[in-house]
Structure 1
């Protein structure tokens, strides 16, 4: 598959809020409020410029443990961020509160807003970060790896019949994901279609007797945000009447530099479960 080159400057520098950024000049000090993008910052070779992160930003462990914590993704300590004198703030539409970002924008000159909804959206993330922080070569390398992983995932999807799955993220109340989430799009890449088909919430509560849930052929129990364990498999299989399996939530929900590894993980899991 041919990987496209870095696009024109203005297109590559536009974030999810429609703001066109400039290439960073002078000393760079980055605060990231998005765990998967903290990992991406480090993968791009910007670890020395990362001065702040949330308590949920835990990868890569040997690097982030040396970086100051500024609270959580939703409960950011404003004064802690202010003290870091950041030049760039990385946020996400789903993971961070708008009012918090607006308060931080009052004293951080560059706020980069992200909102990937599909694995393919990572190409834009790589280009955006690569251009802003002068890491074009590193961004191209990640893009090439993602393109190869997408091709492999689609090959697996084409080799197996489509399968409808219920992807659980919480227990009591039982909760799943809607079709418009990044998680659902990632599962779809390997031929797993999530149920319910239509919901009023991105993370709906589910009833085991609902027709959409009954239509599922398999149940997947995620490791996050609720940490499903082996002990839950029998319970879910009994409630659903369907085979149940554990799945690594980071491999379905962490965009950024983990996207390619996530697709490869899902492709292997899809093939393994198909023959069990």
Structure 2
């Protein structure tokens, strides 16, 4: 948490003008009842679907219009260590206090929800969201305990081919699902060369950031002849925050289709 943000909390001031540079955090803010306070979002903030019409779009997650942000006179800017660059964070710090999330697993997500509850005086709403997640999580853990483990490859990009490896939020959700990551000995999002792998049980093609389609299933079947290959909702695997309760329900339906 940025040291300037600690000053906000110390003075018991609730930020009234919020800029969110992270789509999943924008959704969380709205689910906390803060949509009226959001003055700026990215072009990728698509949930809820009306938020870009109600707030100013200040660019993407990697490229921003800093003067637009300055003109909005935010009280706080919300960033993420993975989604936003160091330069973006530094530029934003010159304008307003910055909160930087760093999410690797569900526990980190719950901490973030609690932090937002404190910062924006929405503790009750935050606890309700956390409760929903924990109820779904406990039920799913009991469900998945009886499921078979799959040696799994999760693709996020093509040209070059890129996969999810260790030290990522997606990998933590793969573990939750008993999807044993074939690339768990690598870090982050490595590029790979396609090779025939007969020991892979499951290949997941994400809807984001690369929008995989059915034709890619055919293309990859040559390299993973014994694997089930599925198109999956990338938001469910990568959006932390309030979406987690929906994601866990989605995982159950995914398992039932395997």
TM-score, scaled to structure 1: 0.87
Alignment partner, residue 209 of structure 2: 225
Q: Distance in 1 between matches of 2:200 and 2:242?
A: 31
CA-to-aligned-CA distance 1:20-71 (integer Å, 9 cap, x gap): 4644626610000001001111110001100001111111012332210111
Alignment partner, residue 4 of structure 1: none
Mind listing any 5+ residue stretches in structure 2 that lack a counterpart?
Answer: none
Alignment partner, residue 254 of structure 2: 269
Q: Does 1:176 align with 2:163?
A: yes
CA-to-aligned-CA distance 1:204-230 (integer Å, 9 cap, x gap): 1123337xx554211011101110111
- Of 128-137 and 237-246, more deviation after overlay is shown by 237-246
Mind listing any 5+ residue stretches in structure 1 that lack a counterpart?
Answer: 1-14
How many residues in Structure 1 have an aligned counterpart in Structure 2?
A: 255
Alignment partner, residue 154 of structure 1: 141
Q: Does 1:104 align with 2:88?
A: no
CA-to-aligned-CA distance 1:107-161 (integer Å, 9 cap, x gap): 21x2111011112222101110000100001000001011012112212320112
Contact map agreement 2:204 2:232 (CA 8 A) in 1: yes
* Mapping of residues 125-144 of structure 1, within 5 Å: 125-144=112-131
Contact map agreement 2:151 2:199 (CA 8 A) in 1: yes
Contact map agreement 2:43 2:52 (CA 8 A) in 1: no
Alignment RMSD (CA, Å)? 1.9
CA-to-aligned-CA distance 1:213-260 (integer Å, 9 cap, x gap): 554211011101110111221111122212211100000000111011
Contact map agreement 1:152 1:264 (CA 8 A) in 2: no
Matching residue within 80, 83, 86 for 1:92 = 80
Alignment partner, residue 114 of structure 1: 101
